[in-house]
């Protein structure tokens, strides 16, 4: 309790930190070059990250770029549409304006991902005859992803069982598998 009081007194006593409005309005001085006075006023820090935010630092979406790149164009469009619905649902649940998209994709990302998962599960659990075209594409994509992962794991587990049977180092086998080694590397 004493620590909190001391900490809040320290923060209140620091210039620009006692009041969020004052901190946002005050320009930040940063050294630029040794010639002249060497100090230039720069804009205040990004309100989302608390430091300089660059366009490249803002997440572009909820899906991994690899998942979208591997999908065919129709499935990619369905996945992106589902993503937009998840983001819109997050706006609605938190009473946020649409201009807060970057905030939802950064600090609100977990909520948006939960919304996306709910939509994916709805697509999978909806009876096939009642699915929209979008839900049908997402359900097929999800089924393919799960089947692929199950087949990969089954093959890897069989390899581990062989390594155990052959008296090889099973831990080394799994290290090779998880490092992305080729079949030839694993056989060696």
45 and 135 housed in the same domain: no
Residue numbers of the domain that contains 121 = 65-187
- Per the CB < 8 A criterion, the answer to whether 157 and 163 are in contact is no
Is 155 a domain residue? Answer: yes
- For the chain, residues with pLDDT lower than 50 are 1-35
Distance (Å, rounded) from C-alpha 162 to C-alpha 156? 10
Give yes or no: residues 141 and 108 share one domain: yes
* Same-domain status, 70 and 52: no
Q: Is 50 left (phi over 0), alpha (psi -120 to 50) or beta?
A: left
Cα(34)–Cα(15) distance, integer angstroms: 25
Dump pLDDT digits (tens) for 29-45: 444 444 455 555 555 55
Residues 88 and 167 in one domain: yes
- Whole-model pTM? 0.55
pLDDT at 48: 56
Residue 181 exposure: Cα atoms within 13 Å on the Cβ side: 15
* Residues whose CB falls within 8 Å of the CB of residue 156, separated by 6 or more in sequence, listed in order: 177
Looking at the 3D structure of the chain, how many domains does it have? 2
């Amino acid at each position: 309790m004493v620590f909190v009081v001391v900490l809040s007194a320290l923060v209140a006593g620091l210039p620009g930190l006692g009041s969020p409005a004052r901190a946002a309005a005050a320009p930040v001085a940063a050294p630029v070059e040794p010639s002249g006075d060497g100090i230039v006023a720069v804009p205040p820090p990004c309100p989302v990250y608390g430091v300089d935010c660059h366009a490249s630092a803002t997440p572009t979406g909820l899906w991994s770029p690899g998942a979208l790149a591997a999908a065919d164009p129709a499935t990619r469009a369905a996945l992106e549409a589902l993503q937009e619905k998840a983001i819109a649902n997050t706006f609605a649940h938190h009473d946020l304006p649409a201009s807060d998209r970057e905030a939802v994709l950064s600090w609100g990302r977990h909520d948006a991902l939960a919304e996306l998962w709910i939509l994916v599960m709805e697509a999978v659990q909806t009876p096939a005859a009642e699915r929209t075209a979008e839900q049908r594409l997402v359900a097929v994509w999800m089924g393919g992803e799960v089947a692929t992962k199950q087949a990969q794991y089954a093959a890897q587990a069989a390899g581990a069982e062989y390594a155990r049977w052959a008296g090889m180092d099973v831990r080394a086998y799994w290290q090779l598998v998880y490092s992305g080694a080729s079949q030839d590397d694993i056989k060696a």
